[in-house]
């Protein structure tokens, strides 16, 4: 489905989704993953599987996840009435589920920079539709910072800063600069790159 996205940079969407996924773990937010993998959309992104290796996505056939009883049941099991939602494409999987969830009494926050669509018009119309229906547009960064709320919450501070440095560009660079050049901290020791071993198979000419 990401192949068909043209309104946002695809790598940017992956980056923002991974950042949001990491934040759900930092703040112990109940998570529901859902896909239409079998014979249509392809497997869930390996970047997400790496963050949730033991989390099995709910497989569905409907473009509207809210039409799937297993998905709705998983949402109900969280006992939460606020949903932070993202997906591909905005005008179908996101908009349809959002409108129905709102109708059923949920408060829905759509993480716009974690969504994408086949055109800017499609995405913009979908966002207008869900806002008119009562959903709130947010970004991955705004969601994480709202969960953090106070920099005095030291239990999550370092993890949030790690996500910022890895995924939020100029903001992350600014944090690193302030910590090292202004406050004299040691430079961050982010995880090193582990190269993939070269294949031992012979190439076919």
Tokens standing for residue 6: 């043209």
Gap between the Cα atoms of 15 and 91, Å rounded: 21
- Counted residue by residue, the chain has a size of 205
State residue 68 phi and psi, 5-degree precision: -100, 120
Please list the active-site residues. Answer: 93
Q: CA–CA distance from 67 to each of 61, 70, 84, 96 (Å)?
A: 9, 9, 18, 9
Contacts of 62 (CB under 8 A, 6+ apart): 36, 68
């Amino acid at each position: 489905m990401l192949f068909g996205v043209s309104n946002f940079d695809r790598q940017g969407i992956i980056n923002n989704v991974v950042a949001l996924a990491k934040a759900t773990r930092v703040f112990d937010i109940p998570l529901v993953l859902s896909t239409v993998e079998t014979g249509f959309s392809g497997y869930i992104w390996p970047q997400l599987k790496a963050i949730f290796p033991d989390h099995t996505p709910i497989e569905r056939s409907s473009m509207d996840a809210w039409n799937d009883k297993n998905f709705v049941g998983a949402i109900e099991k969280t006992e939460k009435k606020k949903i932070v939602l993202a997906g591909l494409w905005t005008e179908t999987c996101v908009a349809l589920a959002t409108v129905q969830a709102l109708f059923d009494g949920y408060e829905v926050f759509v993480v716009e920079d974690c969504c994408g669509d086949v055109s800017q018009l499609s995405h913009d119309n979908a966002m207008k539709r869900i806002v008119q229906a009562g959903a709130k547009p947010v970004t991955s960064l705004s969601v994480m910072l709202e969960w953090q709320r106070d920099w005095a919450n030291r239990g999550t501070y370092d993890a949030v800063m790690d996500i910022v440095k890895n995924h939020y560009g100029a903001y992350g660079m600014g944090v690193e600069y302030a910590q090292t050049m202004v406050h004299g901290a040691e430079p961050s020791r982010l995880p090193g790159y582990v190269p993939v071993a070269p294949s031992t198979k012979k190439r076919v000419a």
